[in-house]
Amino acid sequence: MGRRDGCISRVNVKTGEMDFFATCHKGPVSKVEVNNEMNQFVSLGISPSLRLWKVALNQDDIFVPLFDISWQFPIKHVALVRGLIGFALSSTGSPTHRVVVYNTAKAGRAH
C-alpha cells in the first residue's frame, strides 16, 4: 500500500495492521503494482518517479531497488506481467504517450 509520506507498507491480512513499511519515494506514492511471481513490485511517486523493487524474502522483507526512472511529466500507466514492466510516459497537454517495456528478468529493455 502506498502512503502520502513516500512509504510503502504491508498490511497483515489476518490482523489488518501494517506490519512492515519502508521509505521508497520523496513524496506521496500514487500507485503500487505487485508481481508475486517474480517477488517484485513497482511504485509510482507523485514526483513523478517510477521504481521497481525486489522483495528479498530471506532478509526480513527488505526492498531491493532494481530500476528507477524519473520523468519531467507524469507516468500515466504501469503494468507488471511476468518478467516485464510496461509504462506510459506523456507530456502535459499532449494526447500521445511513449510506451516503454522493460524486461526485468534480463535487466534490459524488451522493446
> Confidence class of residue 1 from pLDDT cuts 50, 70 and 90?
low
List pLDDT tens digits, range 28-86.
888 888 888 888 888 888 878 888 888 877 766 677 888 888 877 778 788 888 788 88
CA 98/CA 101 separation, integer angstroms: 10
- Mean pLDDT, residues 84-111 taken together: 74
Query: Is the model's pTM score more than 0.85?
Result: no
Q: Which three cell numbers stand for residue 51?
A: 521504481
Q: Is the bond into 48 cis (omega within 30 degrees of 0)?
A: yes
List pLDDT tens digits, range 4-19.
677 777 777 888 887 7
| H helical segments located in the chain | none
Does pLDDT of 109 surpass 80? no
